[in-house]
Amino acid sequence: MPSIPGPFALAPHSPVVPVVVVEDAADAVPLARALVAGGLPLIEITLRTPAALDAVRAVAAEVPEAVVGAGTVVSAAGAGDAVRAGARFLVSPGCSARLLGALRETGVPFLPGVSTASEVLGLLEEGVTEMKFFPAEAAGGVPYLKSLAGPLPQARFCPTGGVSAASAPAYLALPNVACVGGTWMLPPDALAARDWPRIESLARQAAALRG
């Protein structure tokens, strides 16, 4: 099977991947534009709401500066639907052999989820070196990832799940962390008010965590 570049190659200087839950597809484009303007072009829209695929489709069509992907991909059907909507990368919370095969078949970069050393080793045996560490804080956080760097230095991670503006720098300082995923630049009150300037400002602060 031909090699597929990992998601980290899509936006190598983006330290934070916003994890976006879109309830109203009409919000997707202005939200994506605010994140891009703030310096966070790699955007993961989770497949957790009925509006998600329409949101991916809208951002892919109207915000060319964004690298839009789909998260919470848990099935072959979900992976295919996301790619047809325009997703340029896929993220899963975990990974089975069947799901790994489906992710590969899409031909787009993907970030399978892991939370244990055995899961990391299993993906490395399949030639996958870029992974989502989820749920990051609940699964051991910075100390756990630091302990993996010695025996499994070839694995690189995007920790997601409970990561905050306060904890992100400690993750980003690890040699095996390429970026972090988070929602702190998307506070619920700002989303409800459609306060795109505030979200842009928070995105800019997140983008500055590592230059």
Of the residues 23, 44, 65, 119, which is catalytic? 44
Report long-range pairs for 195-201 (Cβ below 8 Å, ≥24 apart): 196/30, 196/31, 196/33, 196/34, 197/34, 199/31, 199/34, 199/35, 199/38, 200/34, 200/35, 200/37, 200/38, 201/38
Query: Taking Cα atoms as reference points, which of 60, 160, 144 lies closest to residue 111?
Result: 160
Q: Are 82 and 47 a contacting pair, CB within 8 Å?
A: yes
Q: Torsion angle of alpha carbons 34, 36, 42, 46, nearest 10°?
A: 20
Containing H/E element for 156?
strand 156-159
Q: Is 146 a catalytic residue?
A: no
Give the SS3 label for residue 159.
strand
Q: Is 132 a catalytic residue?
A: yes
CA–CA separation, 38 vs 181, rounded Å?
16
Give the SS3 label for residue 128.
coil
Of the residues 105, 119, 132, 137, which is catalytic? 132
CA–CA separation, 90 vs 147, rounded Å?
27
The residues with which 18 forms a beta bridge, in sequence order, are: 182
The catalytic residues are: 44, 132
